Each structure stands twice: as C-alpha cells, then as structure tokens.
Structure 1
Amino acid sequence: MFKRHKSLASERKRELISSRATRSILKNDLRNFHSLSQLILSAGPLRSAAAVKHVKTTHFEIEILDAHTRKQICIVDKMTQKSTIHDVKQKFHKACPKWYPSRIGLQLERGGPFLKDYVTIQSIATASIVTLYFTDLGRQVSWTTVFLAEYTGPLLIYFLFYLRIPYIYDMKESSRRLRHPVVHLACFCHCLHYIRYLLETLFVHKVSAGHTPLKNLIKSCAFYWGFTSWIAYYINHPQYTPPSFGNRQVIVSTINFLICEAGNHFINVVLAHPNHTDWIMD
C-alpha cells in the first residue's frame, strides 16, 4: 500500500511540473508574439513587392511615312499610352521644323480620316511600333481670324459704296441726286449687324483653338464680301428708288430687323453659357 501511494504522489508531481513548464512556454510565446507585433506596427504598413518595384511604362515608337510616296519621314519614340496625337505632332515638329503642328495631318491608313488631336496612342496601337501616314494640310489660319475677316470686310466694303466713290458711280449723277432717308437707315442696319457679329466673336462665342486651311478663309470671305458688294451697289446707287409702300413698309421692316437681331444675340449668349439655361426649361 505504501508503495502505491508513493507512486501516485510521484505521478502527481510529474503532472504539476509538466503543467508549469507548459504555462511558462505559453507565456514566453505570448511575450514573443507581443514584441513581434509591436515591431511590425512601428515599422508601418506592409508593402508588397510589386508596390516597391518601379512600374514599367510601355513606350511606343511612331513611324511616320509620307502618304504619297510611303517614304519614311521620321520616327517619334518614347511615346506613352496616355500620349495623344497632339503630342506626336509636337515631337514631329521638333524633328521637322518646316511643318508646324496645325498643318500636320496624320492617318492610320492612306486616304483614311485624319486623327483628332485628342486621340490617345493606346487607342490606336496594336503593337509597340505604330505606323502613321503624314499629309501636309497646307497653310492654316485660326478660326478667330476667319470670323474677323468675314465680318470686317462687309463693313468696309459697304462704306465704299455708301460714300459713292467715283470709281464706282458717276460723279455727276451722284451729285445731282439726293439720297433717300431709307438709304441711311439701310447703312445703319448693315453696320449694326456686322458690328454685333464682331463683338460676339471677340466676347461671346467660344471659338475653337483649332485651325482651318487658308482656302476656307478665301471661300468664306468671297461669299460675304461678294454678297455685300451686290446689295450695297443697288441700295446706294444714285438711281435707287424708295420702297413702293412708303414709310409703313420701312417702319415694319426695321422693327422686324431689330427683333431678329435681338433674338439672334440672345440665342448666341445662351449657347455660349449652357450651364445657365436651366431657368428656360422651368
């Protein structure tokens, strides 16, 4: 019996010793984990290996060929995915200074549409090398210049006929005949119309910063200036006859003209500021 009690006591001692050892190991593990967590927090957020490494940017080479001869003109390199056709034109101009950006036309295919300046390289690239065809668009002028030339010409031309320059009308006939009051009214209305156009071009319209070929300026000026010369010649002619219905016709026509001018000006102002037109729909 004594031996059994002794063996049981020794077993209990062993269990107590093992449990104490296990507890001390757990405490050491908790301390190590706590110190490790403190070290990680002090070091800041974890960063992935991909974030630490520099992101590689894909670059493209733009090969520019002549659209007529298919001969290589130059190669524009180091163009990123976000680069635009406008950026290509700028670098092309540096390589070939005789062609400034506004007269450079670039196409994906010969005879195809010209690429807009805002088109990105990523949207048209199918490989690391992109081939574009160059066409010289000729001399270019800004749209503001086009509109100012269109509207300034009629003012000056009409005054030449209104003053009855001797190279246009016969001096003897011009001196004999007095002008009807409606002729002066017509000059006032004509000048008011084109002065309004000029002021709206400068202060109201948001004219595009783009360019257009010089031939378009010539076409537009030919139309406006030619039409002005045609009506000014007959209205200011010494043999001009007043309206058939007299002052009633003149007054009604003048009122209609002023209403149309005011309406057109109002529409132009509204279109120039689209964010302030919600009240119209209320």
Structure 2
Amino acid sequence: MDLNIVSLKTKRQLCKLEGISKSATIATVKELFEKKNPRYYQSRQSFRLNPKAKSLKDSDIVATMNLDVDNTLYFKDLGPQIAWATVFLLEYAGPLVLYLVFYFRFPFIYGDEFTFKPSSEWVVRVAALCHSFHYVKRLFETKFIHRFSHGTMPIRNLFKNSSYYWTFGALISYFINHPKYTVASYGESQIMLGLGIFVFCELGNFSIHYYFRNLRPAGTTRRQIPKASTNPFTWLFSFVSCPNYTYEVGIWIGFAIMTQTAVALLFAICGCLQMTQWALGKHRNYRREFSDYPRSRKAIVPFLL
C-alpha cells in the first residue's frame, strides 16, 4: 500500500511512501520518511491520523490504524531534539554550581569585605550541604537510576527548564548566603524540624525513583501498576499515584522551614503547582490504562488531591 504524508501545519502533501506493508509499524514509516527527508530524523517526527488526533506510537501497526480512503498520515515536525538525560544533567548542574558561587561569596556579589568569607552561621553551612546533596543526587539518578521512556525532547525545553532551575538556585543561594541573612525565628528547633523533613523526603524520593527503575525492565516501555513494597518509603503508594512528587515537594518545604527564606518557599510552591499538574495527568493515565487501578488513591496529596 501507499501512504500519503501531509504536513500538519500547511496541509500540503510532502511525499508518498510506496509499497508499505500493512504489517509495518510507525517506526518503519519514520525510517522511510527520513530517507526521503534526511533533515527530519526519526526522533523529530510525529505522525497522526488526523490534525486533531494524538501522535501515533512507534509500535502502532499500519493495518490496525483507521486510515482514511487516501491512506493519509499527518506529519508534524517536533523541532531539533536533545537527549532527555543531557537536559537533566545540564538542568541540575547549574543550580549546584551557582549555589556554591554565592556560598563562597565570589567577588562582586556582596562586596570586597565579604569576598571568599562564607557565613559563620551553622545553618548556612547545613543549607549548602543539603542543596548540594540534592542536586548531586539528581545527577546520580539521571546517570544511573532513571530509565527514560522517550529518548529525546525538543531542544527548546533545555533553555526553558534550565532557566527555571538556574534562576531559583541563584536566588535561593543569594539570600541565604547574604551577609544580612537572619536565622529561623524559632532557632534550632525550627532548623532541626526543617532538616528532618528534608532528609526524610530525600530518602523517600530516592526510594521511589529506585523502585520505578526496577518496575520497568531495561530496554522496554512496559508499564505496571506501582504498589507498596517492603521498603517503608514506598508505602505511600497506598495513598497516592506519584509519591516521588509528594516527597519532592516535602524536600523543599523542609528546606524553606530550615532556612526561613521567602524565595525558598516560593520555589516550593512553584514546584508543587507544576508537580501537581504532572501527577494529575499521570494519575488519569493510570486509571485509564488499568481497569483494576486502586480507586482510593489520589494523585499527589493523600486523601485530598
């Protein structure tokens, strides 16, 4: 059979792929399309049955698709791509380095009299350790723990995501390491409470990421219902679909309590709003995909949301 490839944007025919087997997959279609249009490498391609439909999966088979009488597929250019892992590594390296620039008080930040003279407040040193640990953990997870279901993302996301993490990393560090920084209102008890929440949630977050790694076999996109295991930190699966996000929000709430800075609290709020949106989407997908998915679970906040 022949497939007519039409631009989703202009609705003009781009090419015709001839002699396509009905048992061929979209991955095969992408390979053949790339031969005719080398600039559109496979990770840059998206095909749809109609302009308003969702992108077809690489595993979708031509024979099972409800093609129109002209056997038309609509092509969308996803733009230049970059590996997910590369994006994450750059996202997380930025705030790690920037925070330490302010912590060590590099020249031209707070004035010559404070250059390379870190604060003597112990909570400032603890905050630097916590912040650095968090992003070192993220870099480690990106390199050795995470298994990405998609190999690439649009390169424009690199600048959007990096600007978010880098800007907040710099702002948080600027105020915590400022010579006029004042410690938490309730002193050591407040600091230890925040530190305790931070450490607990870091352990929980890592436990969930490690659990997800083992849940998806290497080299596959197989999906299963996540369930509580013998690790106590995974028991949160009994209440929410995305405990990794729950713990992540807890990390930054703990950090904000410990340092008592408005910008750290703002970062926690912004992160919470974004992760809530992601969690709700994943929660809906779980319920749609698995008929036996636990109906009592919420998305990110136990019993509430």
TM-score between the two structures when normalised by the length of structure 2: 0.66
Partner of 1:252: 193
Q: Deviations over 1:240-272 (max 9, x none)?
A: 122233333323322322121112111221222
Instruction: Report the CA distance shift for 1:68/1:273 in structure 2 as closer, same or farther (over 3 A).
Output: closer
Is contact 1:104-1:137 (8 Å) kept?
yes
Is contact 1:174-1:238 (8 Å) kept?
no
Q: Identify the structure with the greater helix proportion.
A: 1
Is contact 2:81-2:155 (8 Å) kept?
yes
Partner of 1:132: 73
- Paired AA for residue 21 in structure 2: T
Instruction: Report the CA distance shift for 1:176/1:218 in structure 2 as closer, same or farther (over 3 A).
Output: closer
Aligned mates of 2:81, 2:117 — CA distance in 1: 48
Q: Deviations over 1:22-41 (max 9, x none)?
A: xxxxxxxxxxxxxxxxxxxx
1:156 aligns with 2:156: no
Using the TM superposition, name which of 217-226 and 91-100 deviates more. Answer: 217-226
Q: Deviations over 1:86-120 (max 9, x none)?
A: 11111111111111111122222234322222211
Within-5 A mapping of 1:182-261? 182-261=123-202
2:121 to 163, 180, 187: 180
Aligned mates of 1:79, 1:190 — CA distance in 2: 54
- Paired AA for residue 145 in structure 1: T
Aligned mates of 2:106, 2:80 — CA distance in 1: 35
SS of the residue 2:71 aligns to: strand
Aligned mates of 2:103, 2:88 — CA distance in 1: 23
Is contact 1:76-1:92 (8 Å) kept?
yes
- Superposition CA RMSD, Å: 2.5
Aligned mates of 2:228, 2:174 — CA distance in 1: 45
Partner of 1:144: 85
Within-5 A mapping of 1:1-282? 60-126=1-67, 130-174=71-115, 178-274=119-215, 280=230
Q: Deviations over 1:70-91 (max 9, x none)?
A: 3322221222222111111111
Q: Percent identity?
A: 36
Is contact 2:82-2:154 (8 Å) kept?
yes
Instruction: Report the CA distance shift for 1:126/1:258 in structure 2 as closer, same or farther (over 3 A).
Output: closer
SS of the residue 1:106 aligns to: strand
- Paired AA for residue 78 in structure 2: L
- Paired AA for residue 80 in structure 2: R
- Paired AA for residue 73 in structure 1: L
Aligned mates of 2:202, 2:169 — CA distance in 1: 18
**Aligned-pair CA distance for 1:152:** 1.2
Aligned mates of 1:130, 1:210 — CA distance in 2: 28
Using the TM superposition, name which of 151-160 and 121-130 deviates more. Answer: 121-130
SS of the residue 1:222 aligns to: helix
Aligned mates of 1:175, 1:138 — CA distance in 2: 44
- Paired AA for residue 64 in structure 2: S
**Aligned-pair CA distance for 1:216:** 2.2
Q: Which structure 2 segments of 5+ residues have no match?
A: 217-225, 236-305
**Aligned-pair CA distance for 1:64:** 0.9
Q: Which structure 1 segments of 5+ residues have no match?
A: 1-59
Instruction: Report the CA distance shift for 1:87/1:177 in structure 2 as closer, same or farther (over 3 A).
Output: closer
Q: Deviations over 1:211-259 (max 9, x none)?
A: 2212222222122112111211101111112223333332332232212
Aligned mates of 2:118, 2:198 — CA distance in 1: 28
Q: Deviations over 1:31-80 (max 9, x none)?
A: xxxxxxxxxxxxxxxxxxxxxxxxxxxxx211112233333222212222
Instruction: Kindly tell me the number of residue pairs found equivalent between the two proteins.
Output: 222
TM-score between the two structures when normalised by the length of structure 1: 0.70
Q: Looking at CA atoms only, which structure, 1 or 2, has the larger radius of gyration?
A: 1
Aligned mates of 2:227, 2:118 — CA distance in 1: 51
Is contact 2:104-2:118 (8 Å) kept?
no
- Paired AA for residue 256 in structure 1: I
